[in-house]
Amino acid sequence: MRIKDDKLLSSKTEPKISIILPVKPETPQIEENILNYKNLLKDVLKDLELNYSRRFWDMAAKNLNCLLLDRQLFSTAKNSLLIFANNEQMEVCELQHKVMPKAHVGTTFLVQDLLLPEENLTKPDYLVNISRDRINVFDIDSLKEVELEGIHARFADYYPDFDAESNVNVGSYGGKNPNFHGHRAKAEEQQKDQTIYYQYLDRALNSLHAKKGYSFILTGLPEVLDVYLNMGNRKYVDGVIHASILNLNHQELLEKVSEYKNFESLALTEKIKHDLHRADNQERLLHDLDMINFALENRDVRELVSCNDGLSYSVEHNKMMVESLLKRINCRVLYSEEAVVPQMRAIVY
């Protein structure tokens, strides 16, 4: 996830305010969310009043106070909110992972929570459960079943002559020269109909991806998905769950999607660790902060990786991460209980 406007990150205006807020989206907890935000905001205002002239933060304080009127913000966020502000502008980011509450006022924004693997996974738009002759589509956020405009969700809708319950071996006779009007062998017909429908789905989903940028997680029985996926490479496929989700209740579906996201996050974490190990073996890994800063200034850094225990926020590390983001340098953060002391690593070209 990236901040929408680099203008805020690149701003020289201080103080820079960061509020990191855990959110419980259930309706009864909205008041608790607002109360927690009020307490963090109170800490911010106290810090501002003690250390800065009011003219440097009066607009920031006004914008932060206005958020208290936005009840929807405290009820629809995923797991956490990350709020950045200075006297020029403010931005609110929703986070996928859970955080500890924290407020910071100083010379940099605390961006590290934006750079965790779970925040940088590609976000699909829909779950598509594929069966032999139909699909079921679920919105990835609400996990409610929806219809995709212009998509035939059943083969019978796309190919009206199809009858899933028909006896494909029957025939009819008539006249002096009887003609047999039966069908092909049942297995052969089903396979052909399945191919026709899957080719249609492939074109339709690819068109949605091209026109609207939609991407999809495909689900279904392994033997069904194997047939569909073996038909070619598809840019619209964001991931695959080799299991049908049709009989899952909402909670079970939520757990299934969370399990998928955790697996993807773990895979990305392992890739980052592998890249660090390979760079170390190739003597392209820097550990010293002064050397890393020098390399950043000279644009010699290919990837920046900060490691800490998830509870600490190194101001120096976050400054370097902000600089790398502004220079479009790949920047990652790994949380580990073993990283008691924050460590910064840089992979150079």
Do 86 and 135 belong together in one domain?
A: no
* Pairwise CA distance, residues 79 & 99, whole Å: 8
Which residues are bridge partners to 343 per DSSP? 307
The whole-angstrom separation of Cα 276 and Cα 267 is: 14
Q: Residue 91 has what pLDDT? A: 95
In a domain, 182, yes or no: yes
Last residue in a domain, options 107, 140, 157: 107
Question: Domain boundary residue among 259, 289, 306?
Answer: 259
Distance CA 184, CA 169 (A): 7
Which token pair is 135? 């699909």
87 and 141 both lie in a single domain: no
Do 130 and 64 belong to one domain?
Answer: no
* 129, containing H or E segment: strand 126-130
97 within 8 A of 119, measured Cβ to Cβ: yes
Judge if 241 and 152 occupy the same domain. Answer: yes
Q: Which of 80, 106, 97, 87 is nearest to 18 (CA)?
A: 106
158 assigned to some structural domain: yes
Among the three residues 107, 134, 159, which one is the final residue of a domain in this structure?
Answer: 107
Q: Report the number of distinct structural domains present in the chain.
A: 2
Give the span between the Cα atoms of 40 and 21, in whole angstroms.
8
Which residues make Cβ contacts (< 8 Å) with residue 103, sequence separation at least 6?
17, 18, 19, 20, 40, 41, 43, 44, 47
Asked if the structure places residue 46 within a domain, the reply is yes
For residue 225, tell me if it sits in a domain.
Answer: yes
- Supply the pLDDT for residue 26: 66
Phi, psi of 154 (to 5 degrees): -130, 140
Rounded Cα distance, 215 and 217, in Å: 7
269 falls within a domain: no
In a domain, residue 9? The reply is yes
Q: Is 301 helix (H, G, I), strand (E, B) or coil?
A: strand
Q: What is the pLDDT of residue 115?
A: 94
| Residues 212 and 136 reside in one and the same domain | yes
Nearest residue to 149 via CA among 137, 162, 161, 131:
137
Q: Give the pLDDT of residue 310.
A: 84
Whether residue 8 lies inside any domain: the answer is: yes
Does the residue 293 lie in any domain? no
Output the tens digit of pLDDT for each of the chain's 349 residues: 567 778 999 999 999 999 999 998 665 678 899 999 999 999 999 999 999 999 999 999 999 999 999 988 888 767 899 999 999 999 999 998 889 999 999 999 999 999 999 898 888 999 999 999 999 999 998 899 999 988 999 998 887 654 444 444 444 433 444 444 445 567 778 788 889 999 999 999 999 999 999 999 999 999 999 999 987 667 899 999 999 999 999 999 999 998 999 899 999 999 999 999 999 999 999 999 999 999 999 999 999 999 988 888 999 999 999 999 999 999 999 998 777 788 999 999 9
User: Residue 239 is part of which domain span?
Assistant: 126-167+178-259
Looking at the fold, whether 70 and 156 belong to one and the same domain comes out as: no
Same domain, 132 and 95: no
Give me the residue label for tokens 């689900």.
219
> In terms of domains, do 36 and 89 share one?
yes
- Dihedral sign, CA of 295, 301, 85, 42? negative
- CATH of residue 133's domain is 3.30.420
* Predicted local confidence at residue 169, as pLDDT: 44
* Residues contacting residue 141 through CB under 8 Å, at least 6 positions apart: none
Pairing between β-strand 90-95 and β-strand 126-130 as defined by DSSP bridges: unpaired
Q: Are residues 84 and 10 in the same domain?
A: yes
Helix (H) and strand (E) counts in the chain = 10, 13
Shared domain for 25 and 97, answered yes or no, is: yes
Same domain, 147 and 251: yes
**pLDDT score at 2:** 63
